[in-house]
Amino acid sequence: MTSASQNPSLGEAASSFLATLPPKEGEAGQQAIYGFVRWYGWERLFAELTPREVANYAEQLSLLHTSYLNNLKIVRAFLTYARKQGWNKTNLAAHLKPKKTKARLSSPTLRTPLTSLTKQGYDELKAELAELKSRRSQSIDDIRRAAADKDFHENAPLDAAKEERGHLEGRIMELEEALKSATIIDERQKAAPKVRVGNSIVLRDEASGEELRYTIVSPREVDPTKGKISSNSPIGKAVIGRARGDIVEITAPVGKLHYQLVQIER
């Protein structure tokens, strides 16, 4: 046994554990395992994990995942496996416990904020999610092939496969949360009395008379090349909720700029 396999990093340990699972179980559990690994870092040595860190992870996980109980179960199995391999002298699985107060789990303060999306933006995120999920099986195969030699020391292909897997699962998780909390803007309405996400606007610079056209979108739909700016941008914040004819003030590096809101449309 190599020294690397006796004292693996979290990334190496995760790959080893997932490789022991049947394909379907591995695919179902990898998101939770890689989430745990990303929290501490791929290169962090498993032996360095402490009971307190593992206990704190359960608290953090409850804020990040709506179905965290199932994820805790999967991670606990991973920690038990690691103990049997001798990678940590402490039974870390015993310190990964769910919260006892059920009321806190359903508290509105833990819910993901609603995201307003145009129909086009929603469809684009949905298509991206489907494409990423279609790459999962290939990603698992890449890791298994890279880990086949059982020597994790200086295994560049394995490191690359693990990193790619981590990015893939992280983006999938982000998209799932965004779509789950999304509300689609009703674009049948041709005009709105006040600016909201999804509106196109025309601003006239009070000093120069120059007119600027923008479409206000959610932060996930920003595309400067098409004039789509975030509702959280300085301009977005200034115009949301304002009516045609209003004068809006925008703080820029050069100072305060004043624009008249001359048009609101879909």
Task: Note if the pTM is more than 0.85.
Answer: no
pLDDT at 107: 36
Tokens read off for 97:
């416990």
Residues in the chain: 266
All structural domains of the chain, each given as residue ranges with its CATH number in brackets, are 3-183 (1.10.287.180), 200-265 (3.10.50.30)
pLDDT in tens, 160-210: 777 777 778 888 888 888 788 777 766 555 445 789 888 899 999 887 788
Q: Does the pLDDT value for residue 100 go beyond 70?
A: no
pLDDT at 193: 78
| Angstrom distance (rounded) from CA 168 to CA 135 | 8
Q: Is residue 215 within a helix (H) or strand (E), and if so which, with residue range? A: strand 211-217
> Binning pLDDT at 50, 70 and 90, where does residue 74 land?
confident
> Binning pLDDT at 50, 70 and 90, where does residue 254 land?
low
Strands 228-230 and 211-217: parallel
> Binning pLDDT at 50, 70 and 90, where does residue 135 land?
confident
Cβ atoms < 10 Å from Cβ of 67: 8
Q: What percent of the chain has pLDDT over 90?
A: 10
